[in-house]
Amino acid sequence: MALSLLSASPPLRLRRSIRRTSCSLFAAQRAKRNLLELISDQDRGLRTQKDAARRDAIVNAIESMAVIGRSSVTTGDSLSATWRLLWTTEKEQLFIIEKAGLFGTRAGDVLQVIDVKRRMLSNVITFPPDGVFFVRSDIDIASPQRVNFRAEKQKEIAPSTRRVANQGKATVLALGKAFPSNVVSQENLVEEYLREIKCDDLSIKHKLQHLCKTTTVKTRYTVMSRETLHKYPELATEGSPTIKQRLEIANEAVVQMAYEASLACIKEWGRPVEDITHLIYVSSSEFRLPGGDLYLSAQLGLRHEVQRVMLYFLGCYGGVTGLRLAKDIAENNRGSRVLLTTSETMVLGFRPPNKARPYDLVGAALFGDGAAALIIGADPTESESPFIELHCAMQKFLPGTQGVIDGRLSEEGISFKLARDLPQRIEDNVEDFCKKLVAEAGSGSGSLELNDLFWAVHPGGPAILNGLETKLKLKPGKLECSRQALMDYGNASSNTIFYIMDKVRDELGKKGRGGEEWGLGLAFGPGITFEGFLMRSL
């Protein structure tokens, strides 16, 4: 029996002892692509290949993949994988596949889904376009490198405690996060920051100390570090033309963080990278051609035919814009799986403090770096685990507010200005926006009140959260996930909404079916632009 593993792990031989390759992901993917190209037009059964040279090439490719996994060790969790049986046997085809034509259909793939976490093996035979035949068995974990299969007995399956996604609706199937290695404690920020930029102005020190307390931030992650400033001392010099240096740092950093977040997301998803059909790349922190979407796609080993979209310089609402676009793609392209990534660093906006630019100190006390990644798709398969359904999404801008959030690119980087009335502008318009979103839930949800929902609100800062909580008369704790994300990560621009959703997932998981079914996600940014989405917990 010849097998190929269609996942991020390299192909292995199906036997009671399963080993995982320790070679690089790139080498494994290259070897796998080579084998799949060789057998792309191959009928089932190795003996159906009449070309001896072609047959030898296939056999050699299989053997080379076996070498990749030799003498390597895995952990139990990484045994989970989906196998595709390229040939069922050298002698004969499975009866059900051979006789498929009698039933007016054709056989598709034969799959084996090994799920260590659920201790289950599923044999799956597909009959396109939508027929599926299952045979299941349980597995026991005999050791970190071995699983034992045992026959499945007839038994009644208990009803699921999870809600079921509506057919055709986009769902969030996985979520991953990544951060730079430099962790900033707000408690130590003032002394370290002023020392590194060689500032001894006491008024600036007192102002920054005050801001560090009022932001409520405790920790943040930053690309900017002591080593960076030592390498590029001009970044801390007022008036220096440093856009070239900033982009050198940022362009590399945002793709690397997006890559790490994507790997974490794909691992949670559990399907191979080849199944990703679309990539949406969101960032306000880099600028180049080609963009980071292409570099990320190549680094992940996505198919060359993956459909890519870049969303640049949207600011804090960019993550929700990406989510809205991913929802539209997933619901209008059957079987699609969209990888949505956001990645941000404040390197472009880092500047030495100046009394003429008080907002620079707000940035120093509030903003953080990081990345996030999600897999979005409709009609989840049995192997996928959706946790949020995206019911509807909406965007709105407030006329005449273009100057309230202002960012300008110059030779010194990006300079930002925020009007003092930003929280009030949001507060004055948010209730109507939320009620329009809730109305989209329809009659099936009953009469929803705002306090019946769970909330994921981008925290531009504590003033915005406080004003929104008061205006909407929300109960204490409704915005707790947003406050916790602000405390743990700062304002990480487009990433922040997904850090909040991750915390929401944990909280709803603790409540089970007793938790809120419907929720609202909100973000605000330049324009002033409102982005929102109505979601269901699954």
What is the distance between the alpha carbons of residues 416 and 408, in angstroms, rounded to a whole number?
7
pLDDT digits 0-9 by tens, 48-57: 556 777 767 7
Q: What is the pLDDT of residue 51?
A: 72
Q: Which of 156-170, 278-292, 443-457, 495-509 has the lowest mean pLDDT?
A: 156-170
H/E element holding 507?
helix 496-511
Q: What is the pLDDT of residue 333?
A: 97
**Full-prediction pTM beyond 0.75?**
no
Q: What is the pLDDT of residue 443?
A: 57
pLDDT band of 254, cuts 50, 70, 90: very high
Checking if the pLDDT of 117 tops 80, the result is no
pLDDT digits 0-9 by tens, 346-368: 999 988 887 777 778 888 889 99
Higher pLDDT, 32 or 170: 170
Q: What is the pLDDT of residue 95?
A: 56
pLDDT digits 0-9 by tens, 90-100: 334 555 555 55
Domain residue limits, the chain: 26-71, 76-159, 170-537
Checking if the pLDDT of 69 tops 70, the result is no
Checking if the pLDDT of 46 tops 50, the result is no
Q: What is the pLDDT of residue 277?
A: 98
Q: Are 114 and 139 in contact (CB under 8 A)?
A: yes
What is the distance between the alpha carbons of residues 268 and 57, in angstroms, rounded to a whole number?
34
The pLDDT of 448-455, averaged and rounded, is: 94
Checking if the pLDDT of 15 tops 80, the result is no
Q: What is the pLDDT of residue 158?
A: 39
pLDDT digits 0-9 by tens, 393-410: 999 999 999 999 998 889
Q: What is the pLDDT of residue 389?
A: 97
Please give the C-alpha separations between residue 55 and each of 43, 62, 87, 110, 421, in angstroms, as whole numbers. 12, 11, 13, 21, 72
Higher pLDDT, 147 or 420: 420
Closest Cα partner for 220 from 337, 49, 350, 358?
Answer: 350
Checking if the pLDDT of 299 tops 90, the result is yes
Please give the C-alpha separations between residue 75 and each of 81, 112, 147, 284, 485, in angstroms, as whole numbers. 13, 19, 11, 38, 32
Q: In the chain, how long is the greatest CA-to-CA distance?
A: 86
pLDDT digits 0-9 by tens, 274-293: 999 999 999 999 999 999 99
Q: Are 283 and 314 in contact (CB under 8 A)?
A: no
Checking if the pLDDT of 43 tops 60, the result is no
Residue 290 preceded by cis peptide, ω within 30: yes
Higher pLDDT, 349 or 295: 295
pLDDT band of 191, cuts 50, 70, 90: confident
Look up residue 192 and give its two tokens.
């370290």
Q: Is residue 316 annotated as a catalytic residue, yes or no?
A: yes
Q: Say which amino acid occupies 76.
A: G
Checking if the pLDDT of 238 tops 50, the result is yes
Checking if the pLDDT of 327 tops 50, the result is yes
Report helix, strand or coil for 260.
Answer: helix
What is the distance between the alpha carbons of residues 95 and 81, in angstroms, rounded to a whole number?
25
Q: What is the pLDDT of residue 515?
A: 85
Look up residue 268 and give its two tokens.
């949670």
The pLDDT of 371-386, averaged and rounded, is: 96
Q: What is the pLDDT of residue 512?
A: 78
Q: Which CATH number fits domain 170-537: 3.40.50.800, 3.40.47.10, 3.40.50.150, 3.30.1340.10?
A: 3.40.47.10
Percentage of the chain with pLDDT > 70? 71
pLDDT band of 369, cuts 50, 70, 90: very high
Check 23, 199, 212, 316 and give the catalytic one.
Answer: 316
Q: How many CB atoms lie within 10 A of CB 149?
A: 13
The pLDDT of 365-392, averaged and rounded, is: 96
